[in-house]
Amino acid sequence: MAVCLFCCRNIVLYIYRKLNKDIATIKLHIDALKERFKDEKSFRIIDVAAFYREYEPNLKQNTIHWRIYALVQMGILNRIGRGKFEIGERKNYIPEISSKLKTIDSKLKKNFPYLKFCIWQTSALNEFMLHQSGNFYVLVEVDKEATQSVFYFLKETNHSVFIDPTNDLLDKYLPFNKVSLIVKPLVTEAPIQNIKGINTTSLEKILVDIFCDDVIFSAQQGSEMRTIFKEAFSKYTINENRMFRYADRRGKKENFKDYLNSITNLRQ
């Protein structure tokens, strides 16, 4: 008898939860929401609030925030900045982790076990570029105090290595058809991500770095940079708050914002 009562209780609980979920889903007006914002590259909380108040004029702001939270959890909305959203699931950027990056990562971890670093390869930029670059670098970004030590260590492993190079240095000594390594300081609080156990770059970091550094990224300047930015924004989800914080760390936040605003139809 106890077992039967337990089973009945679970059935009732299941039905109750199912009804609540169905009612909540109906109130979310998901199909109408998708239709309303499908052509918008981004929209704000105030826009979502206006949408729901067409159905329920006296809807409380707390209820709107709850609905937005539920929609994000369901993958209907994607949060792309503080109070900014887009329709659809998050499109994460994951750079390729080549065998060369794995080898360098392994060597650095073995010889500098407490070192914080980020490594990535500029060949990843070809995905966004109109004109493919012929020269690629592996960027090894490390704590500022360790740049000299890492530079000399990598030179001893028979790599072509530069440390904070100038345009003239790269023009004169960059080996043709060979991937070179560039060691540079890692900006504190840089937006990096861990892929397959390797600390590598994020798309937010890439875009800011290209804008701020016209030496290492000389092939990505001018119209090519505009192409990269447009392709990046159209293909992937970009957290603008994260990106602006990093641009601020590099002392270029306002200039960077002005540049983004100058690219027609990039952001809405």
pLDDT(168) > 80: no
- Cα(69)–Cα(204) distance, rounded to whole angstroms? 24
Mean pLDDT on 183-193 = 94
Residues 173-210 as b/e (b if ≥16 CB within 10 A, e otherwise) read eeeeeebbbbbbebbeebbbbebeebbbbbbbbbbbbb
Measuring CA to CA, which residue among 185, 171, 97, 98 is closest to residue 135?
A: 171
Residue with tokens 């609030």: 49
Helix residue ranges, H only, 86-132: 99-111
Query: What pLDDT is recorded for position 84?
Result: 87
Please report, for the chain, the start and end positions of each structural domain, with discontinuous segments joined by +: 2-87, 99-262
Q: Give 161's strand partners.
A: 181
| 30 neighbors 76 (Cβ within 8 angstroms) | yes
Averaged pLDDT score across all residues of the chain: 84
pLDDT value for 83: 83
Question: What pTM was computed for the model?
Answer: 0.72
Q: Are 52 and 29 in contact (CB under 8 A)?
A: yes
Instruction: Label residue 160 by pLDDT band (50, 70, 90).
Output: confident
In contact, 177 and 139? CB cutoff 8 Å: no
Cα four-point dihedral sign 170, 122, 245, 141: negative
Q: Choose between 19 and 81: higher pLDDT.
A: 81
pLDDT at 12 over 50: no
For residue 179, what pLDDT band results from cuts at 50, 70 and 90?
Answer: confident
Among 76-80, 145-149, 196-200, 227-231, the least confident range: 76-80
On the question of pLDDT at 155 being above 80, the answer is yes
pLDDT recorded at residue 264 = 58
Read off the pLDDT of residues 119-140 as tens digits, 9 standing for 90 and up. Answer: 999 999 999 988 776 678 899 9
pLDDT the model gives residue 193:
94
What pLDDT sits at residue 70? 85
Q: Tell whether the model's pLDDT for residue 145 goes beyond 50.
A: yes
Distance CA 12, CA 7 (A): 9
189: left (phi over 0), alpha (psi -120 to 50) or beta: left
**pLDDT category, 21, cuts 50, 70, 90?**
very low
CATH class as words, domain 2-87: mainly alpha
Q: What residues does 118 pair with on adjacent strands?
A: 141
pLDDT at 55: 92
Q: Look at 202-206, 237-241, 250-254 and tell me which has the smallest mean pLDDT.
A: 237-241
